[in-house]
Amino acid sequence: MRAALVKEFGPPSSIVVEDVADLHPGAGEVLIEVGAVSINFPDILVVEGTYQNLPARPFSPGKEAAGRVIAVGDGVSRVRVGQRVLALVEYGGYAEQLVVPEDLVMELPDGMSYEAAAAFGLVYSTAYFGLLRRGQLKPGETVLITGAGGGVGSAAVQLAKAWDARVIALAQDEAKAELARSQGADIALTSKPDTLRDDLLAATDGKGVDVVMDMLGGDFLTQIIRATAWEGRIVIVGFASGSQNPIKPGHILVKSISVIGLQSSDYRDRTPELMRSSMAEMFALYEQGKLDAAVDTTFPLDKVGDALQYVKDGRVRGKVVVTTGRG
C-alpha cells in the first residue's frame, strides 16, 4: 500500500509518499481500505513537529479517514467486512490502509460519499461537543462562531442553526462571511478586534452573545468577553490568531461568565460510545439535508504536501480532502 510519511519534521513539502507493507488487524481491530482523509490544521503542526502529541517517526498523520472495511480481527462483533465506515484516530489516516480499534469505527449513511464523510468527522464532532456539551447551547440563544468559513467554523454554524439558535459568524474576509451566510448564519461579520465588541453589542441590541465558540483567541477573545451576555458560556477551541492574551477575571466575575476548554479528541478516547452516538445524530441531520460537509477542494494522496500547504496558507473555505482512489 501507499502511505504519506513524516520521516523528519518540517514544512508540508517534507512529507513523502512511499510504498509500505500492507496492514493486518489484531484482536479487536478493524482494517479499512481508505477512500478519503481530510486535512485538519493540527495535521500541519504534527508534520512540523510542534503538536503536543507526536508519535515515533516514521508515521502517517491524519485524524479521520473514510473507506471500506476489508478485514476484522478476533473479537470484533459490531463491525463487518464490506461496511462503509468513518474512523476517528490520533494519526495514521494519510494512507491507503488504516487499522483502528473497533470502538473508533462508525457506519456511514448510504448516501454519504467518502469525501463528505472524511470532511465530517473531526470538525463536526468538535462543533458538537463544543456547542452542545460544553456550551450547553439552547434553542433561541444567540451564539457567536469565530473562524467561520473554516472547517470547525462551518460545522458549528450549521449545527447551531440545526438546533434553532441565532448565529453570528465572525469570518476572516467577505468571501468566508458569504460562505457562513450560505450555511445559515443570521449575521456574518468581518470585524477586527478594535470594533468587535461594538459590532457584537449592536447585533444583539446591547445584550451580548449567550454562547461563544472561539477558535481565534488573542485580542479577539479579549473583546468577545466584553460582548458576552450575563451567564454566557465561552468555549475555547484554539488560538488561530497566534496569541493567548490573559483573561481579565473581573470581566468574567461581573457577568457570571463561564470560560470552558474543549479538547474534542478526549471524547473519542475516553467515551467512544458517546462519540459514536453523537456522530449518528449528526449523520441523521446530514440525511435530512440540515448539514453539508462543505468540501472546498480535493487532492490525490501523492499531492498531500500541497493539500497541507493550501490549508496552512489560509486559502481553504470549508474542508480540504485527500483521496486515494481506493475504498
Instruction: Report CA-CA distances (Å) from 45 to 39, 41, 48, 51, 95.
Output: 11, 7, 5, 5, 18
**Average pLDDT in the 114-128 region?**
94
Q: Is the pLDDT of residue 248 over 90?
A: no
What pLDDT sits at residue 41?
A: 87
What pLDDT sits at residue 181?
A: 96
| The three three-digit cell numbers of residue 88, written as one number | 476517528
Reduce the DSSP state of residue 317 to 3 states and report it.
Answer: coil
Dihedral (CA of 46, 50, 55, 59) sign: positive
Mean pLDDT of the chain: 94
**Average pLDDT in the 268-272 region?**
94
Report the 10 Å Cβ neighbour count for 303. Answer: 16
pLDDT band at 243 (very low <50, low <70, confident <90, very high): confident
What pLDDT sits at residue 236?
A: 96
pLDDT band at 316 (very low <50, low <70, confident <90, very high): confident
**Distance (Å, whole) CA 16 – CA 14:** 6
What pLDDT sits at residue 103?
A: 96
Reduce the DSSP state of residue 63 to 3 states and report it.
Answer: coil
pLDDT band at 242 (very low <50, low <70, confident <90, very high): confident
List, in order, residues 6 or more apart from 9 with CB less than 8 Å away. 47, 48, 49, 57
Torsion of CA 94, 95, 96, 100, to 10 degrees: -90
Q: With pLDDT > 90 as the criterion, what percentage of the chain qualifies?
A: 87
Termini Cα distance of the chain: 12
**Average pLDDT in the 212-223 region?**
95
Domains of the chain: 2-112+294-323 (3.90.180.10), 123-264 (3.90.180.10)
**Average pLDDT in the 213-224 region?**
95
**Distance (Å, whole) CA 124 – CA 151:** 8
Q: Is the pLDDT of residue 150 over 90?
A: no
pLDDT in tens, 18-73: 999 999 999 999 999 999 999 998 899 999 999 888 999 999 999 999 999 999 99
Q: Is the pLDDT of residue 174 over 90?
A: yes
CB 233 within 8 Å of CB 258: yes
pLDDT in tens, 284-306: 999 999 998 888 899 999 999 99
CB 68 within 8 Å of CB 140: no
Report the 10 Å Cβ neighbour count for 325. Answer: 10
pLDDT band at 315 (very low <50, low <70, confident <90, very high): confident
**Average pLDDT in the 157-163 region?**
97
| The three three-digit cell numbers of residue 104, written as one number | 473508533
Q: Is the pLDDT of residue 115 over 90?
A: yes
